[in-house]
Amino acid sequence: MSFHSPHLSSCHYAVLLAAFTVSPLFAQDSPAPKESSSVQSATTDLSVGKVRETIAATQALIQAHPEDPANYVKLAYTLSDAGMGDTARDEALKVTQIAPQSSLAYSALGWVLHHNSIGVDYGKGYDYTGSIAAYRKAIELDPSDLEVRYTLANDLEFNEDGIQYAPNSHLADAIEIYRYIKARQNPVEPDVEDNILIDLFYSGQFKQVITEIDAVSSSPIREGIAIAAIAADQGSAIAIAHANQITGDTKRRNAALNFAAAGLTNMRLYTQAADLLEAGIEVQGDSGVTLHKIQVLRSIKPYQGESLPDSDPRSPIQKHLTTTLTGNLTDAVLSACVSRHAYSDPNEWASISRRSNEEVGTLHQLSIKTGLPLIVMRDIVLGTMKLIVEPSDQPGYRIDLQIMSVSKRFFVVKEDGGFRIVAEGNASAPVGAEALYLLQHGQEAVARSLLDWKRDQYQVGTGNSPIEDAPFARLWTSGRSKGLDAIKTAAASLLMDSADGAALLPYLISKRNQSPEGPARANLDAVLAHIYLHLGDGPNSTLITRKLLRQYPDSAAVVRLAGGADSLVHDWPSWKSMLQSRLAKKPNDRELLVQMAVEAEAEGDFVRARESLRTLLDSGHALVVDYNAYAWLSLFDGTTDSRSVEAAERANLLSEGTSFAELHTLACIYATQGRTAEARQLLLQAMSSGNLVEPNDPIWLGFGLIYEQYGVRDAAIGAYKRILKPERNVSPIEAFALAQTRLKALDAR
C-alpha cells in the first residue's frame, strides 16, 4: 500500500536551504588526528591503487612485526579513511589487545570510533561513548601527550548525534582540557585559545568571553567572538559600536559581524543576529540573500512548547509535528493525533512512526547542510509555523500548514472524543479508508466533505482512456457526487493499490456488472485491474486488462496495466507482441520503448532492456530517467562501458547533481571502474541529496562495490548483507538483486 504520513515530507524542508546558506558553526574545522608518532594517520589518496598498496604493505609489516602496534594503527586509519569503518574498528580494537599499554593504540581507537561505518566523522552511528573512553585511556597511559588531550576536547564538543556545541555536549569538560593544554604549551597555539572562547560562548558564559578576550591578541575570529558575546550580554547596539572600532577596511568589520551573527543564530538569539547582519549590509551594499536571511531571523521565535488547546481543530497537526521534531512522538501521542480508522493495517500504522523518525533524520541532514544546530532548525519550522482553518460550510476541517513559503493541506475530523488528522494532501488510501468508516457510522456528510477535499487536488487531463488519469478523479465530482454507492465506489478507487482494496472486490464486481458498457464501466474495470494486480491475481488481472486493451488500444496507461498482468503470469510472448505491434506504428514512442525495457528486465534479459533504452536515447526523446536507467542496467549485465558512463554522467548533469538516483548510479558505475575516490564522494553527495543521515540499501550497495575494488572481501560481504530482502516481490533491478549477485560472485551467500 502506498502510505503517506500526515506531516511534512523532506522536500518541504528544503525551504530552510533557501533561507540560510551554509555557514560556519562559529568554529574551526575539526582537527585532523594529532598523534605523537611518525605513523601516517590519514590516507588522502583514496584511489584503488594507493589504498590496495597501503593495505597490502601494512599487512605485510604486521605479519613481519606482529607485536608492533604502529602498523595496526596505520591499517585502521587507512580503512577508516577509505570508508570501511566497521573493519577499521575491528583493527583498532585488535591493536588495544596486542598492546594494552600503548597510548597510541587507544588514541587510534578513539579516532576510529568517532567515525561511523562508512568513515564519516561524527556521522550517524559513531560510537560517542567508546571514542571518549578510548581517549581517556590513552591519556591515562601517557599523561604528557597534549595532542591526544586536544583531540579529546574536540570530541567532547559534540553530542551523541554528532552535533557540535549542542546543549547536551560536554563543553565544560572540553574547556577544562583546553585550559590544561594552554597552561602547558609554550607558545600557546592560537586555536587552543580560540576554542576556549568559542566553548565559553556556547556555554552561555558571555561575560567570561568578554573578560578573557581582552587578555589575548586580536584576530578576525576573536573579533567576531567578541562582537557576538557583547551582543548576547549587552545588546546589539553596543556590539555594533564595538564592531565600528575594528581597524582596517570595512570588509574586515563586516566579516566579523557576519561571523558573530552566525554564532548568535546558533544560540537562538535571532533578533541580535538580524541586527548585526543588517549593520553589515549598511556598509557593504544590498544583498538579496542576506536580506532574506534577516527577514527570516526576524520572523523566528525560540519555540517554547506552546500548545493549542485540545478544543482547537488545529491542535493534532501542531502536536504531531512538534512531538516528531522534538523526538517525543510516542504511540499514545500518535493515537491522539491521527485517526486510527484511516490506517486499518497495523503495518501501515506502525509506518507512521517510521516516517516520523525519517523526518527527524531529514532535519538532522539539513542541519549539516545549513550549518545550523538542530534546535535552530526546529525553531525555524515550529517558530514560523502557521495553521490556518479554511472557511467551509461543509463538515470536517480543512487546515493549511504554512512554514514560510511552504504550504501543506490537512483534513481533520472530530472523532473518539477529540480531533484527529485523517490525511495530508498527497494521501489517497487513508482518505478512502476514512470515508468508508464514516459511511458505515452514519456520517455521510463528513465522508462526502472529505472526498470533495481530496477531489479538489486532482486535475483531469485529456487522456484517451478513463484510466489515463486516476479513476477517482472520474468517479467523484466535488459538490455534485453523493449517495452511498458513489461514496463507496470513490473510496474503493482510492484503496485500489492497497491491501484494503481486496475487501471491496464483491461490491465492485456487482457494481461493474450492473453498469452499461461505456466509460462508467471502464472506470470500474480500471479499479478492479489495479486491485487484482496489487493482489498478484494474474488470471483476473489478465482478463480485465485484455478487455480494456481492446477498448483503448492506444492508451499508455492500459498498456502498462496489461504488461503488469502478463508479468504476473509470465506470458512474455504476449507482452512483447503487444508492445511490438504498437512500436511498428510508433517506433520512437518513448512510453513503448520504456515498456519494452521493463518487459526485458522482467525476463532478466538486461542486454535487450538496454538495447530498447539505447533506441530511446538515440531517438532524441529520452528524459533524465531514461539515461539513468540505461546506465543502471549496465551494472546487471556486466557492461559498464564508455556508453554507460556517458549516460550516467549525462543524467547527473541534466539533474544538476542534485538527484539521489542519478548520483547513486554514477557512483556505482565509477566504483566498478575503479574510480573509488570519486564514487565515495558521489555516494556521500547522494546521501546529502536524499537527506539521509545513514546509508540505506542503495548506498550500501555502492560502498560494497567500492570495498570490492579495494580488495577487502569481508567489508564488501558485510555491506551487501546489510541490504535486506524487500517484503514485496523483488524487482530484478533492485539493489537487493544486485547485492545477491555480488555475494554469489564472492562465494559468500
Q: How far is CA 356 from the centre of its chain?
A: 12
The whole-angstrom separation of Cα 301 and Cα 380 is 8
Return phi, psi of residue 88, to 5°.
Answer: -65, -40
Tell me what pLDDT residue 12 has: 46
Report DSSP letters for 687-715, one per residue: HHHTT-SS--HHHHHHHHHHHHHHT-HHH
pLDDT band at 251 (very low <50, low <70, confident <90, very high): confident
Residues, the chain, total?
Answer: 749
3-state secondary structure of 445: helix
Domain residue limits, the chain: 17-299, 434-569, 623-749
What mean pLDDT value characterizes the chain? 89
Q: Does domain 17-299 have CATH number 1.25.40.10?
A: yes
Domain 17-299 and domain 623-749 have a common topology: yes
Contact 167, 378 (CB under 8 A): no
**For 41-98, how does the pLDDT look when each residue is reduced to its tens digit (9 = 90+)?**
445 688 999 999 999 999 999 999 999 999 999 999 999 999 999 999 999 999 999 9
Residue appearing with cell numbers 518513448: 590
Does the CA dihedral 471-475-478-484 come out positive or negative? negative
Please state, in angstroms and as integers, the Cα–Cα distance from residue 455 to each residue in 6, 106, 427, 448, 546, following that order: 18, 63, 12, 10, 29
463 vs 80 pLDDT, higher one: 80
pLDDT value of residue 265: 93
Dihedral sign (CA 578, 579, 585, 590): positive
Question: DSSP secondary structure string, 151-178?
Answer: HHHHHHTB-TTS-BT-TTS-HHHHHHHH
Q: Could you give the CA distance from residue 337 to residue 324 in angstroms, rounded to a whole number?
A: 12
Q: Which of 174-178, 355-359, 668-672, 683-687 has the lowest mean pLDDT?
A: 355-359
Q: Rounded to whole angstroms, how far apart are CA atoms 287 and 281?
A: 7
d(CA 542, CA 568): 9
Q: How many Å apart are CA 561 and CA 120, to the nearest integer?
A: 44
The pTM (predicted TM-score) of the whole model is 0.88
Measured CA to CA in angstroms, residue 600 lies from 515, 516, 577, 624 at distances of: 37, 38, 13, 20
Please report which confidence band the pLDDT of residue 748 belongs to, taking 50, 70 and 90 as the band edges: low
Distance CA 60, CA 333 (A): 58
Q: What percent of the chain has pLDDT over 70?
A: 92
Cell of 507: 461490491
For domain 623-749, the CATH class is: mainly alpha
Residue in 278, 321, 318, 325 with CA at minimum distance from that of residue 298: 278
Q: Is 80 exceeded by the pLDDT of residue 657?
A: yes
Position 710 scores a pLDDT of 96
333-356 pLDDT per residue, tens = 999 999 999 988 777 788 787 777
The neighbour count for residue 345, using CB atoms within 10 Å, is 15
Burial (CB < 10 A; 0-12, 13-18, 19+), residue 390, is: exposed
Is the four-CA dihedral 699, 705, 706, 708 of positive or negative sign?
Answer: positive
